[in-house]
């Protein structure tokens, strides 16, 4: 019996040595230091910075074009849209189907928007502008030649609001 116990003890000892010898492995590691992240910023502006139009005595068939320069002075690209809203004056002129607005990327163009002034509402046009870039939009406002007498002696103050979001 003692002999069996010694044999078992020897087998266990050899197994322990063999197990520890076979589980040994080389290891190593490295660190990639100082990973840095800085967020960018959006900054949309326009030229001119004040009124694009100051038109008086407009009449049926009248039309005027101005250049609106949209500038992305930020460090990231942006998408922007333009919304028209009335801030003062006569709603009859602002909402008239004869009070028209065209926006194009070329003079006289309407590839961006072609409709009524009051119809320029959010997400109708979304433009992309890369960081540090600008683009000229040719904005034409007109009073249709068929405008009726009901539009005489009216005025409207219209805001054009440009809103930027990330693409």
Domain boundaries, the chain: 44-165
One digit per residue, the tens of pLDDT, for the chain of length 167 reads: 666 656 656 665 655 555 555 567 999 999 999 999 999 999 999 999 999 999 999 999 999 999 999 999 999 999 999 999 999 999 999 999 999 999 999 988 888 899 999 999 976 678 999 999 999 999 999 999 999 999 999 999 999 999 999 99
Query: What is the C-alpha to C-alpha distance for residues 109 and 135, in angstroms, rounded to an integer?
Result: 14
Choose which CATH entry (1.10.3470, 2.60.40, 1.10.510, 3.20.20) describes domain 44-165.
Answer: 2.60.40
Query: What is the C-alpha to C-alpha distance for residues 65 and 139, in angstroms, rounded to an integer?
Result: 5
Are 62 and 26 within 8 A, CB to CB? no
- Burial environment of residue 162 by CB neighbours within 10 A (0 to 12, 13 to 18, 19 or more): middle
Bridge partner list, 72: 44
Query: What is the C-alpha to C-alpha distance for residues 39 and 12, in angstroms, rounded to an integer?
Result: 62
């Amino acid at each position: 019996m003692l002999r069996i116990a010694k044999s078992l003890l020897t087998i266990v000892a050899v197994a322990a040595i063999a197990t520890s010898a076979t589980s040994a492995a080389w290891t190593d590691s490295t660190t990639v230091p100082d990973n840095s992240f800085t967020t960018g910023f959006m900054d949309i502006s326009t030229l001119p910075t004040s009124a694009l139009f100051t038109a008086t005595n407009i009449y049926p068939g009248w039309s005027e074009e101005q250049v609106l320069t949209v500038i992305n002075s930020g460090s990231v690209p942006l998408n922007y849209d333009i919304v028209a809203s009335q801030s003062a004056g006569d709603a009859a002129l602002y909402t008239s189907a004869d009070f028209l607005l065209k926006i194009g990327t070329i003079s006289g163009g309407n590839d961006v928007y072609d409709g009524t002034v009051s119809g320029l509402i959010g997400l109708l046009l979304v433009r992309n502008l890369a960081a540090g870039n600008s683009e000229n939009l040719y904005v034409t406002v007109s009073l249709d030649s068929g405008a009726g007498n009901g539009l005489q002696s009216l005025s409207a103050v219209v805001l054009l609001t440009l809103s930027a979001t990330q693409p």
